[in-house]
Amino acid sequence: MRNGGFPVDDEDVLETVARMLAAAGEAEAAGIIRSSQCRFQWIHTDNWNGGTECFVLNIAIAAENFVAIGERKEALQSVISQRLDEAVAQFGSGWYSVELSPLIVSMPGRPDLEGGPVSYSVRRAIIGLLRQEDVSWFGEVSDVDFLAPLYDLDAIASYDARFKTAGQDIWQHRINNPGDWPEDWIFSDERFNLIEGPDVAFLAFIERLVSPRVRPDTKLAAAMVQRMNEELRRTGWNLVERESFSGAMRYRAEPFEPTLVRSLRSMRASAAVLSSSWMHQELERIEAAIDSDPALAIGTAKEMVATCCKHIVDALGIELPPNPDMPDLTKAVLKELKLVPDGISDEAKGADSIKRTLSSLGQITKGLAELRKLYGTGHGRSSAHRGLTARHARLAVNSASAFVEFVSSTFLARNAASQQGKT
């Protein structure tokens, strides 16, 4: 399999394309690039065109998402292809097409792990974490005992001519002669292909990393889960502690809530529209804290709204008193943006409904400020205080997303209309 023919890593090119799409307001296309399995495949050399190398960018997405895209497929392929052409033009000749397709998945007995793909960049990041922090992937068991529940080792060929199966091969070079192979051999072994193999196999491997038998130190397992979830959530998955049938607690890979994922993506697109590096940092805090520290997520959701409004205040030169509170800040922004579309009079059908909906938008920010005051970070608590849970944090984040997305997109539309008026 050939890469994209670039002098840089394919993933760097794809991240650049995703950022370009997000900055152009193509949030759906940017999300597809970031959350899918993307692979450049060489097609042929076009000798009629001076020996141009021809590639296709295959983007494999979850079957359910592929069906939902429907008639938008051609348009999405076109907009991704356009940005890809712009990004790679600096590398010289080459012709690239884009093809969206449903992801093929299969793992008998684990249908819960089928669905959204785990991107190659996320896989590499997690493997990099294990190597960087010198954490043995096999934990307190042998390599064979670790892998046996995940793979039929007797059905996989041996690399050693003296043995027939991978199980015998691994035992010889990791147990009988432990110095033959490095401890991280699994990450480069093509038989297990953790980087490009099935998503379900990778997710099952991640679960096994922190299972009680492999990792009996619960504090170490929890720390590993927190670090890996920072990466997994970028691709729509996370590890959640669940009670098994026997009553023991273990981590299971589960889809990171689609609604929350969509909210985070829309706020990331809004951060790009407003060119706010601070909003990007706040998003990182929210993703890391949504389950482990709901109070921090709630407080940061409120700060996201405030940061969004302050960027618009500065961009439009809105005059405000020093250190305005949240209601005054959002009220000034909503008023300046004139969120009721032009041409809709008070007598027009539906005008009252539009105004009530927009009024509710303003109430979101008031509610977030109150939630942050009562339950979020930034205030001292009595010994009797009881915090909210992760589901309340998700409510705060989804509410903040609704406000930030609508306000930033309106700001972008007004700016575009203003620029056209000047031409």
Backbone angles phi and psi of 395, in degrees to 5: -60, -45
> Could you read off the pLDDT of 76-101 as tens digits, one per residue?
999 999 999 999 998 876 789 999 99
- Crossing angle of helices 326-337 and 294-316, rounded to 10°: 50
Minimum mean pLDDT range among 208-212, 289-293, 390-394: 289-293
- Crossing angle of helices 258-273 and 10-23, rounded to 10°: 80
Minimum mean pLDDT range among 25-29, 182-186, 271-275: 271-275
Question: 10-102 belongs to which CATH class?
Answer: alpha beta
Confidence tier at 379 by pLDDT (50, 70, 90)? very low
- Dig out the tokens for 335 from the structure: 């008023």
Q: Average pLDDT, stretch 291-306?
A: 82
> Could you read off the pLDDT of 245-262 as tens digits, one per residue?
666 788 988 877 656 666
- Please say if the pLDDT value at position 333 is more than 90: no
Per-residue model confidence (pLDDT) at position 385: 41
Minimum mean pLDDT range among 83-87, 193-197, 332-336: 332-336
Per-residue model confidence (pLDDT) at position 250: 87
Rounded to whole angstroms, the Cα distance separating 204 from 165 reads: 22
| 3-state SS assignment for residue 338 | coil
Looking at per-residue pLDDT, the higher value among 86 and 117 belongs to 86
**Residue 41: enclosing H or E segment and its boundaries?**
strand 37-46
Contact 374, 239 (CB under 8 A): no
- Please say if the pLDDT value at position 72 is more than 70: yes
**Residue 252: enclosing H or E segment and its boundaries?**
strand 249-255
Q: Average pLDDT, stretch 150-178?
A: 92
Pairing type for strands 52-61 and 95-102 reads parallel
Q: Which of 217-223's residues contact partners 24+ apart within 8 Å by CB, and which partners? A: 221/251
- Please say if the pLDDT value at position 146 is more than 80: yes
Per-residue model confidence (pLDDT) at position 164: 93
Rounded to whole angstroms, the Cα distance separating 115 from 36 reads: 11
- Please say if the pLDDT value at position 342 is more than 60: no
What rounded mean pLDDT belongs to the chain? Answer: 81
Query: How far, in whole angstroms, is CA 239 from its chain's centroid?
Result: 14
Cα distance from N-terminal residue to C-terminal residue, the chain: 49
Rounded to whole angstroms, the Cα distance separating 372 from 395 reads: 12
Mapping DSSP onto H, E and C, the string for 43-54 reads EEEEHHHCCEEE
Q: Average pLDDT, stretch 320-334?
A: 83
- Percent over 90 (pLDDT), the chain: 26
Per-residue model confidence (pLDDT) at position 1: 36
Per-residue model confidence (pLDDT) at position 382: 43
CA pseudo-torsion sign 292, 36, 122, 156: positive
User: Which of 182, 140, 188, 149 is CA-nearest to residue 167?
Assistant: 149
**CB burial of residue 114 (10 Å; 0-12, 13-18, 19+):** middle
Q: Average pLDDT, stretch 297-304?
A: 85
Rounded to whole angstroms, the Cα distance separating 204 from 110 reads: 9
- Please say if the pLDDT value at position 268 is more than 50: yes
**CB burial of residue 301 (10 Å; 0-12, 13-18, 19+):** buried
Where do the structural domains in the chain lie, given as residue ranges? 10-102, 111-254, 258-422
Q: Average pLDDT, stretch 332-357?
A: 65
Backbone angles phi and psi of 96, in degrees to 5: -130, 130
- Please say if the pLDDT value at position 49 is more than 70: no
